[in-house]
Every structure is written in C-alpha cells, then in structure tokens.
Structure 1
Amino acid sequence: MEEKKVKKSLMAGAVGIGTIAAAAGTAAIYSSFIEPYWFDIKKVKIKLPRLPEAFKGLHIVQISDFHLGFHFRARHINKMAEKIHELQPDLVVFTGDLVNSKRSRRAAVKSIPGLKSIVAPLGKFAVLGNHDYLEDIDTISELLRKSGFELLINENRELTKGNDSFHIAGLDDYLQGEADIEKSLEGIPEDQFTLLLAHEPDYFKVSSKFPIDLQLSGHSHGGQVRMPLYGPIITSRMGRKYHTGHYQSEEKHLYTNRGMGTTHLPFRFFCRPEITSITLK
C-alpha cells in the first residue's frame, strides 16, 4: 500500500511539473511572438481648463519608443501607420527612441515611407529619446525630418485655429541630451495653453512647476513585463514614478505611453504596444 501511495505521489508531482512547464512555455511564446505585435489603441479623454475654445475636442495621436532594429521593423511601422490613418487625428506626436542602437540605422531608413505616410492637418512633431543618442544624433534627427516630423529640441511652435492658438514645446532628452525647460518655453505667454513633449515621464516632477498644461512622454515601456495586481516588474531610470497612463497634479496632466517596440529583451507581457488616441476637453 505504501508503495502505491509513493507512486501516485510521484505521478501527481510529474503532472504538476509538466503543467507548470507547459504554462511557462505558452507564456514565453505569447510574450515573444504575439503580444509585442498586438497593438493596443488606447483611447483617453483629458479635461484641461485652459484649452482654447477652438481646440476643444482636439484629437492627438501619440506614438513612442519604436526601438527600430531590435525586433521591430518597417513592416510593423506600416501596420501602425494604417491604424493611425483610421483614427484620423488632428495632430500626431512622437516622444522619442526612434532607434535602439548603432545597428538600427538600416531599419530606420526602411521605415521612412511608412512614417511619412502618417498625416495630420496640424502637423507631426517629435522629440529625441535616450536611445537615439546611441546613434549619430544628426543622422537620427535627419531621419525624423525625412519622415515628415518637425523635431523640437528645447524649442516650441505655435499652432493656430481661427482666432485661437496654443503652443507645443519639445524638450531635449534628459538622460543623454541637454534638456532645458526654460529654453523650451521661451517666448510662450504664461497664460497660453501649452503642450510639452518630453521623453522621460518622471521629468513631470520638474515640468509641473512651470505653466504647462499637459506633458506627453514615453521611455518606460510601461515596464514591458507587468504582473496582474502588481504592475511592472522592472522600471527604468526616469520612468519609475509615472510609468504608465494618465497622471494629474492639481491642474497639470501627464500621459505616459507604453511605446511600440522593446529593448534589452524582446518580450511584452500584460503590456501591449500602445497607440494613444487622446481627445482634449
């Protein structure tokens, strides 16, 4: 009898181990080959008291962190561009990390037609990320411009509609560039509605002290791997406090996009690539 009990116990243990191994294998396949290319269109509404009347209902599409060359290619950019076209945004913004490393230039060049096909009546604007500085920054800047994006490096532009206007400002990368918030906002009246593009979301601790209404950021990838009820397993420097989604400090707002690509490891788990569709109220 004891021998039978031992055999049953061993069989149960083997079944349990087999089940765990099968589940781990399934999760590995899903996080490597399915979720990283399963785009999530995240629709967000943000109420901003200083938004000019003519821009109420302004539709912004935010994209970020392609990390081209590291398991993210031109064909994925084309797929993303098709989805953005369906959304018909008024304004498109890219919040940094076009490439992943020095070996990414070829993938970025091949992605130019897809990025160029993205259109928006109020324009397309971009800032640089920390990984962009791992390549020749002049080359990356030129690739963004060839893709139809106006690159903002510590500078701003005024957008007008009827008798109303607002400013969009772009901050150089905080970690690898020379971020200068005062230069970014130079010439903008304090009572003017202002949108800031800043790659690292935790810069919100600084920008929220300035007359900025909304900061849009990326960088964190939402952690890339998230566990239910826990959140991100690992977060990056300057992407730890405000790692995913919408945050508010009094009348100042921040939205952190989870990014499109991956870095370090080509996995995403409970953290799909994100195209953010933002409507301003």
Structure 2
Amino acid sequence: MKYALYSLLALLAGLVLWGTVIEPRFLLDEAEVEAEVPFLPPSWDGQTVALLSDFQVGMWGGNVAMAQEAVETAIARGVSAALFAGDFVYSPDSSEVDRAVGIVRAFQEAGIPFVAVLGNHDYSLMDQSSEVDEATLSYLTAELRAAGATLLENEAVPLARGGDTLWVAGIGSVWAEKSEPASAMAGVPPEAARLVLMHNPESYRELRAGEAPLALAGHTHGGQIRLIPGRSDSWLDIVREGEVIADGWALDSLGAAGNRLYVTRGIGFSGAPVRINCRPELTLVTLRAARGDLPLRGPDA
C-alpha cells in the first residue's frame, strides 16, 4: 500500500512538472494546415501565412518565451503574412503591453505584414461582467500600430503580393460587444479571395453562407487539458459537445454552408498555467487556389 501511494504521488508530481513546465514552455507545435481559398490569385497560391493567438502576456506563471519562439519560428519559416487572433495581454498593465508589443515588433523588422484583431483580455475583460480598461486599451492599440500592426475591428484590409490582392476581414470582440461580422465583410469585394479573422469562434456562427471559406480564430486555448493522449478531445469538447470547437477544424454544423473555421490552440494560458496533451500552437496555413472556385473544404471534411 505504501509503495502504491508513493507511485501515485510520483505520477502526480510528474504530471504537474509536465503540464506546467515542459509542455507549455518547451514543446511548440508547428501545425501545418493546407486550405483552399476561392478566387485566390496566382501570387498568393502556395504561400503560407502564420496564425498566432493568445499570448496572454502578464498572466502569473506565463510562458512569454514560448510566444517569442513562435514569432521567431514563423519568421524563420518565411511566411508571407502573420495573423494574430487576439489576447496579446492578460490583464491591464502597461508593462505587459510593452512586452507583448516587443515580441510582435519582429514582424515589422522582418518586413512581414502583421494583421490582428483584439481579444477579450486586450479589453481587460477577465469575464463577461468586467469593465473595459480604456486607458490600457488605448495604449495597447497605439503601441501595436507603432510596431507595424494593422488592427481590424469589423473591417477588412487588402494584402498585396506580386500585384495580386488577398483580403483579410477582422471581426471585433464578442465579450466587448463589438462582434459585427456583416460590417467586417462589407468591405470585401465580391468574388475576392479572403481570410476572416476573429478572436472568439462564436462570431463564426453569424457569417452568411459562402462569406468565409477560410475563417481563423483562437480564444479557447484548446481547452488546455486533453483527457486522452493522442486524441483531440478536451474537457470543452465534452461539456459543450456540438456547441464549440476547442481546436482544429470545426464541424460543418457550426457554420453556414460554404464556410470553414480553424481554431488554433494559441500560446498562453487562462485560469491556470498548465497545458496537458495540448501544446502551444503556431499554425502555418498554406493557401491553395480552390479547384473551380468551389467553397473550401478542410482536410478532414
């Protein structure tokens, strides 16, 4: 009995070490995804864009070094653009803003277009009953723009490459009550290649059929804890089965026809600084011209 207890304690200690130190701080998952995009012009066909999210700089026990590694890896991989799905910081503090902006400034220095939306933590919304910290928000947005970031809130921006254009539409934060998908898509020309960026996957449900052949989101952290090694199930998949996608490609039933959503696990934490079977993720999305300009279908569709 004594040896069984010792074994259990050793197992628990190992799990804590793995989940709080090894996996979240040393094991970056470079998730490579291919996606077909209707009307994708030749100069963008075959190009790779990086998707990052949820640095949560400033959380106790945070993994800022992993955020730095993800950015450096994206640059080293030669991405044509970098997208950020929100939550640069964790709570209102100007020092957190300086650290977060210092990390992503590397894209400007590398000459890589950097487009972002804000997440609930960027508004200092720790939960849906919190109030926006306007001072920190203003400082964050000003510093990000000074570092070369294009910030989108229910608007779209064209990215030029070789004379061709790829549009990125960015949807505002759900928790900040700024999610207006229709406004975000209004600026995208008909039959134009587009990516749709959002923080909270809940915004995806409001997109009309065919508007978002490739939508990208964060916010969930993949649930941070996966229950069975080798499987993608997290506690989120169980408690909200059929209602939410914790990470990866969303079920067709979560959105309108012709739309497709990918949710990244992001980098940081919320609540507790732990990740188990849910590594920090840098998503590398290789864009492909859709055959016959059909709506995008994910690799597991």
Q: TM-score, normalised by structure 2?
A: 0.81
Which residue of structure 2 lines up, in the alignment, with residue 130 of structure 1? 120
Instruction: Report what 1:273 is aligned to.
Output: 280
| Alignment partner, residue 54 of structure 1 | 43
- Offset at 1:56? 0.7
What per-residue deviation string (whole Å, max 9, x for no partner) do you get for residues 172-192 of structure 1?
Answer: 101224111121122322321
Moved more, 243-252 or 255-264: 243-252
Once the two structures are superposed, the pairs formed by residues 201-280 of structure 1 within 5 Å of their partners are 201-209=201-209, 211-228=211-228, 229=231, 231-234=233-236, 241-247=244-250, 249=252, 250-280=257-287
- Contact 1:202/1:240 (<8 A) preserved: no
Q: Is the 8 A contact 2:210 2:259 kept in 1?
A: no
May I ask how many residue pairs the two structures share in their alignment?
A: 267
Q: In structure 2, do the counterparts of structure 1 residues 131 and 193 end up closer, same or farther at CA, with 3 Å as the change threshold?
A: same
Percent identity over the alignment is: 27
Given candidates 92, 95, 99, the residue that maps to 1:106 is: 95
**Deviation of 1:242 (Å):** 1.7
Equivalent runs, 1:128-207 vs 2, <5 Å: 128-134=118-124, 135=133, 136-207=136-207
State the alpha-carbon separation in 2 of the partners of residues 45 and 121 from structure 1.
23
Match among 38, 50, 53 for residue 64 of structure 1: 53
Cα distance change of structure 1 residues 244 and 226 upon mapping to structure 2, 3 Å threshold: same
1:145 is paired with a residue whose SS is helix
Q: Which deviates further from its counterpart, 196-205 or 45-54?
A: 45-54
1:77–1:241 distance in 2 versus 1, CA, 3 Å: closer
Once residues 251 and 193 of structure 2 are traced to their aligned partners in structure 1, the CA distance between those partners, rounded to angstroms, is 16
Q: Which moved more, 1:171-180 or 1:227-236?
A: 227-236
Contact 2:41 2:164 survives alignment (8 Å) = yes
Q: Which amino acid is 1:274 matched to?
A: E
User: Which aligned pairs between 1:9-88 and structure 2 lie closer than 5 A?
Assistant: 13-37=1-25, 38-70=27-59, 71-72=61-62, 75-88=65-78
Confirm or deny: 8 A CA contact 2:66 2:267 kept in the other structure: no
Structural RMSD (CA): 2.3
Q: How far apart are the structure 2 equivalents of 1:149 and 1:17?
A: 53
> Does the C-alpha gap of structure 1 residues 131 and 166 become closer, same or farther in structure 2, counting only changes over 3 Å?
same
Name structure 2 gaps, 5 residues minimum: 125-132, 289-301
Q: How far does the alpha carbon of each residue in 1:109-145 deviate from its partner, in whole angstroms, 9 at most, with x for none? A: 0343332112565611000101111143212212322
Distance 1:146 1:78 in 2: 19
Contact 1:73 1:111 in 2 (8 A): no
- Alpha-carbon separation, structure 2, partners of 1:266 and 1:208: 37
> How many angstroms apart in 1 are the aligned matches of 2:96 and 2:67?
10
Letter in 2 for 1:17: L
User: Which of 34-43 and 112-121 deviates more?
Assistant: 112-121
The one-character-per-residue Cα deviations of 1:251-276 (angstroms, maximum 9, x if unpaired) are 32211110111111010000011111
TM (normalized to structure 1)? 0.86
Inter-partner Cα distance in structure 2 for 1:140 and 1:36: 25
Gaps of 5+ in 1: 1-12
Q: 1:161 to 1:242 in 2, by over 3 A?
A: same
